[in-house]
Structure 1
Amino acid sequence: MQWSQIKTLFILCFLVLDIYLLVQFIDKQDRAAQEQYPGGEDLTLQEELEREEITLGDIDVGVEKDSSISVLPMEYTDKQVGEIESLENQEAVLNTEDLIVGHMDEPVPIAEDAGGEEISNIISNFIYQFDSYQFWKWDKDLNVLIFFQEKENQPIYYNQSALLLVYLNEDNEMEYYTQSMLGVAESKNDDSKRTLIQPIQAIGTLYNNNELVSKDTVDVDYGYHTWISSLENGKQVFAPTYKVSVNDERDYFVNAIEGQVFSNSDESFTRDMVRENLGDIQLIPQDVDWKEDMINKLRTLTQTETETETNRSE
């Protein structure tokens, strides 16, 4: 037998062996899955959560089909600029063509124990098109109120171009704010909508990733998360997203079409945006008499953040 024939025979033998081992591996995985989840995926996930005493709160978001949305940056008309500059009890300017920076003539008090609805009612008269924003949280460490812009009546999670930050002074009074806005979303048609994964599947993904532990309580909300951040003309694409809240303490964001978990921006986002604002305010005209005061305030906040991070690391 020639050497070339022997070599070919060896190759075929190893190929058959590889296929056999692959089949064995897949079969073993299937058996393990069946042992862990007997009786069907959805039912067994429920059983696993019950066994771990993980409580499902409000997880019905009322959306079964949706598609991504594409949005261009906001381009303000002269009329809109006039409306912004005439807002009551403040001087508001556009540092560039897309960021509103405001300083209150008389600081607006916010009660220490105020909730999101009360806070929104208090500041709604001072913010341009405030109805298109949703309260997110009060960052007590920085004393900053955070609001996300809405599209399709749902919040855009953690996007620099769809954000309202309200800076409070030491007396919890609204003193400054920065506001970015997205423009009109491109229209969607029914043909582009896709069936979303179930909220329970998003919870199952987190459970399988060991993000949930015994006695956790889980709730689900719905919104959009950045999918593609920069296209031609500054367009952004946002994916339908489940916000999975655990014990009202931490949030996870799961793509409601593809199922992958977005990176959690909560810890670094506000810090990064304060630093971005510090740079943005440099572009305000020099004749704005409160410019330096706001720069100093934000610079102090960034220094406080650095000290807080150092203390946590120690």
Structure 2
Amino acid sequence: MDWSKTKTIFIIVFSILNVLLCFLYLNRNAKIENLEVTGKTSMEDVLKQEHITYKLPPFVDKEASFVSADVVDFNKESLKDLKGQKTSIMSDNLLRSTITDKITLEEAKKDDFKSFLSQYVLNGTEYVLWEVAEEQKKAFFFQQFEGRPIYYSPSAMLEITWDDDEKIQYYEQRMLNNFANFNKKDLLSPLEIIGSLASRGLLKQNSEVTNVKMGYSTLVRLTETQVFAPTWDVQVELENGEKEHHFLSANEGKVIEFQLEEETEETEEQSE
């Protein structure tokens, strides 16, 4: 057997095979890129067909971390500097404070309650207004971490209540501290998020996506420690002027439905 010729034949065969594999690889990548472009185009086409318009913020921060935090147990010492109110610790992590100063709803609302929060609430600047429920005579606030709200966490909410004369009566507060970032991951873009909602039929025809904001939602809730995942809040205005919020996991695009858990009031302590 002529091994020299056999060796030459093997080299030629393997060279042809390498060229073929390289061709298949490049052809596969080209198909994937075409699919991605087609998918993006289809996503935008779906939105157009449903007459859904959108205003999206720049997609700058393309990664976000998960966050852990500890539940705050209130104590008399931490409340000693609060003025114009009478505080009651209903349970270790629930504070109820009756406002003794005369403050009207109109006065408190003029800057989205920011002055009220700063003056009367422990770490009040960490909270942001979420909703004013006129019928319930309540305003709801979410605690923020690094400027991003923690959506509907019972451990990070504040409620302000007023009476029939629109005089601020009291507030109830729960709070987190010792925040820490960990496990940074890539985010889905706002366009991918609203495309996911549209493909599921969750965006109504002739609606407008007015904003897509980043925040956090509860991933794990323990007695003393909470873990939160990056979450997109898709804000939508319907054709009739009503507004909706859709929440999705910022990493996976899963739809999140919030249910506030009722927490029982346990012991009551008085402090001034």
* TM-based fold match above 0.5: yes
| Distance in 2, Cα, partners of 1:175 & 1:113 | 12
Secondary structure of the equivalent of 1:72? Answer: strand
Match of 2:247 among 234, 253, 263: 253
Q: Say yes or no: does 1:98 pair with 2:89.
A: no
Counterpart mapping for 1:265-304 below 5 A: 265=259, 269=260, 276=263, 279-280=264-265, 283-285=267-269
Q: What RMSD, in angstroms, separates the aligned Cα atoms of the two structures?
A: 2.7
Distance 1:61 1:39, change over 3 A: closer
Query: Percent identity among equivalent residues?
Result: 24
Counterpart mapping for 1:82-231 below 5 A: 82-111=77-106, 114=109, 117-188=111-182, 192-218=183-209, 219-230=211-222
Question: Which residue of the partner structure matches residue 21 of structure 2?
Answer: none
Question: Which residue of the partner structure matches residue 63 of structure 1?
Answer: 61
Amino acid at match of 2:213: D
In the TM superposition, what is the alpha-carbon distance from 1:119 to its structure 2 partner? 2.3
2:108–2:115 contact (8 Å) kept in structure 1: no
2:66–2:181 contact (8 Å) kept in structure 1: no
| Distance in 2, Cα, partners of 1:129 & 1:38 | 46
Amino acid at match of 2:267: L
Amino acid at match of 1:70: S
Alignment size in residue pairs: 234
1:167–1:174 contact (8 Å) kept in structure 2: yes
| Distance in 2, Cα, partners of 1:150 & 1:38 | 35
In the TM superposition, what is the alpha-carbon distance from 1:120 to its structure 2 partner? 2.1
| Distance in 1, Cα, partners of 2:155 & 2:90 | 14
Q: Which has the higher contact order (CA 8 A, sep 6+)?
A: 2
| Distance in 2, Cα, partners of 1:147 & 1:195 | 28
Secondary structure of the equivalent of 1:184? Answer: strand
Secondary structure of the equivalent of 2:88? Answer: strand
TM-score (norm 2): 0.77
Amino acid at match of 1:154: R
- The Cα offsets for residues 55-93 of structure 1, whole Å up to 9 and x where unpaired, read as 1124436421012111121245x6xx3341331110113
In the TM superposition, what is the alpha-carbon distance from 1:112 to its structure 2 partner? 8.9
Question: Which residue of the partner structure matches residue 27 of structure 2?
Answer: none
Counterpart mapping for 1:232-251 below 5 A: 234-247=224-237, 249-251=243-245
Distance 1:263 1:95, change over 3 A: same
Secondary structure of the equivalent of 1:111? Answer: helix
Secondary structure of the equivalent of 2:114? Answer: helix
| Distance in 1, Cα, partners of 2:160 & 2:248 | 28
Compare CA radii of gyration and give the structure with the larger one.
Answer: 2
1:85–1:93 contact (8 Å) kept in structure 2: no
In the TM superposition, what is the alpha-carbon distance from 1:185 to its structure 2 partner? 1.3
- The Cα offsets for residues 108-142 of structure 1, whole Å up to 9 and x where unpaired, read as 10129946x34222343111111111111101221
| Distance in 2, Cα, partners of 1:113 & 1:132 | 17
| Distance in 2, Cα, partners of 1:141 & 1:126 | 24
Flag structure 1 segments of 5+ consecutive residues without an equivalent: 1-33, 289-314
Amino acid at match of 1:111: E
2:137–2:162 contact (8 Å) kept in structure 1: yes
Secondary structure of the equivalent of 1:67? Answer: strand
In the TM superposition, what is the alpha-carbon distance from 1:155 to its structure 2 partner? 0.6
Question: Which residue of the partner structure matches residue 27 of structure 1?
Answer: none
| Distance in 2, Cα, partners of 1:147 & 1:43 | 38
Secondary structure of the equivalent of 1:200? Answer: helix
Flag structure 2 segments of 5+ consecutive residues without an equivalent: 1-33
Distance 1:59 1:51, change over 3 A: farther
